[in-house]
Amino acid sequence: MAKRAAKNLSTIRAMQQDIAKWANKVFPDRTAHKTLSKLMLEEIPEVVVALRKIKEGNKDVDLGTEIADAFILLFDVAYQNGIDVADVVTEKMRINKAREWSVDEETGLMNHRKK
């Protein structure tokens, strides 16, 4: 596990606010579209590569850092659209827990059953 962060970012809301403050200072002209492009075209593929390397037995992979990069960008996309990640994830998990789920036999992907 990573060392505990120096600042108290233990809540999702505090973490999102810290990311937004940093991004506003370093990338004041960014757009949600460009942030999302960075996430999809660079950072998610880095997570995929890290997972593949781990599966191949490579122990010199920092999957946590790659996952952090992806979360940081997605939190910032939410911030740029006025979305509080803590609120929306809490509400969506309430919905998800109430649903029935299955795994598609062909694709292996998880989906909720349509009512």
* CB 52 to Mg ion: min, Å: 14
Report the Cα–Cα distance between both ends of the chain, in Å, rounded. 40
The answer to whether residue 18 forms part of the interface with Mg ion (CB under 5 A) is no
Amino acid at 115: K
Nearest approach, Cβ of 22 to Mg ion (angstroms)? Answer: 16
Please give the residues from 32 up to 91 whose contact with Mg ion meets the rule CB under 5 A: 43, 46, 66, 69
Read off the tokens for 61. 């992979």
Least spacing, CB of residue 19 vs Mg ion, in Å: 15
Nearer to Mg ion by Cβ, of 68 and 86: the residue is 68
Total residues in contact with Mg ion, by rule CB under 5 A: 4
Q: Is 112 helix (H, G, I), strand (E, B) or coil?
A: strand
Instruction: Mention every residue, 6+ apart, whose C-beta is less than 8 A from residue 4.
Output: none
* Strand ranges for the chain from DSSP E: 101-103, 110-112
Interacting residues toward Mg ion by CB under 5 A: 43, 46, 66, 69
